[in-house]
Amino acid sequence: MRVVIAEDHALLRDGLTRLLRAFDLDVVAAVDNGPALLPALLEHRPDVAVLDVRLPPTFTDEGLQAAIAARTRVPGLPVLMLSQHVEPLYARELLGTPHGGIGYLLKDRVSDVGEFVDAVQRVAGGGTAMDPEVISQLLARREPLAVLTAREREVLGEMAQGRSNAAIATKLRITEKAVSKHINNMLTKLDLPPSDDDNRRVLAVLAYLNA
């Protein structure tokens, strides 16, 4: 699996490269600034791009802008954004680009190596990896969620992070059948059409939460 990395901090860039290589991922390019990013993405067309939101020279949201631009040019290009902070606003913008694997995680998540590599692979496979922080910020917000039971809210949180029914079942220690029952109830209550596509589920949830 071919990966492009963008990270301006040399230590973190080396660390990420080493970590991904240790899990047999092929890091084909590691750039350290914004202007070099888009050409690198278009040239290598990686299976997944792991990008920092904030990059030189302006240290604003160049990584995010490059990711959005690249995904518009190469629809479905899987992108995993890493950031020192997570911002629901940015998550919404990323999810607004043409479909394909999307991830947006805090840099801290790298420290849980296994889960991080899992997220990279999930995004490469067209799935979603949303940081629990983003999800909880959005969940904490809107009153309409009051109609959900505590269990349903838990399932929604897990679902919104991009986990499959099986993964949710293991995590919450309930059966898979129970998970899908909760999801169906929840989507009915929230007035969302049920769907099997993981990414679409997250899109639907986020779109609803942002409404």
Partner 1 sequence: MKRRGGGARLGRWTWRGVRAVLAGLAAIGLAVTNVLLLVVAVVTLALTPVPYLGLALFPWTMTVIRMRADLERRLASRAGVLVTRPYRPPSARAVAGGWEHFRWTVTDPATWRDVAWLLPGAVIGLALGAIGVLVPLYGIAGLTLTPLWIWLGTGWYGYGAVWSVDSFVAGLVCVPQGAVILAAGLWLAPWLRWVDALFARVLLAPTKAAELRLRVTQLTVTRAGTVDAQAAELRRIERDLHDGAQARLASLSMLIGLADRLIDRDPAEAHKLLAEARASSGAALVELRDLVRGIYPPVLAERGLDGAVRALALSLPIPVTVDIALPARPDLPLESAAYFAVAEALTNVIRHSRARHGSVLARYEDGVLRMVVTDDGTGGADPSGGTGLQGIERRLAAFDGKIELSSPRGGPTVLTMELPCAL
Give the nearest distance from C-beta 172 to partner 1 in angstroms: 22
Closest to partner 1 by CB, 141 or 177: 141
With contact defined as beta carbons under 8 Å apart, do 30 and 36 qualify?
no
Closest to partner 1 by CB, 9 or 177: 9
Closest to partner 1 by CB, 59 or 72: 59
Closest to partner 1 by CB, 92 or 151: 92
Residue ranges in contact with partner 1 by CB under 8 A: 53-54, 59-61, 84-85, 87-89, 92, 106-108, 111-112, 137-138, 141-143, 210
Give the nearest distance from C-beta 197 to partner 1 in angstroms: 25
Distances (CA, A) of 60 to 34, 66, 72: 10, 12, 20
Give the nearest distance from C-beta 181 to partner 1 in angstroms: 29
Six-digit token string for 7:
């990270």
26-31 sheet: strands from edge to edge: 26-31, 2-6, 48-52, 79-83, 102-106, 128-130
Burial environment of residue 44 by CB neighbours within 10 A (0 to 12, 13 to 18, 19 or more): middle
Closest to partner 1 by CB, 114 or 193: 114
Give the nearest distance from C-beta 98 to partner 1 in angstroms: 23
Give residues with Cβ within 8 angstroms of 86, minimum separation 6: 104, 105, 106, 131, 133, 134, 137
CA distance 199 to 75: 15
Give the nearest distance from C-beta 137 to partner 1 in angstroms: 6
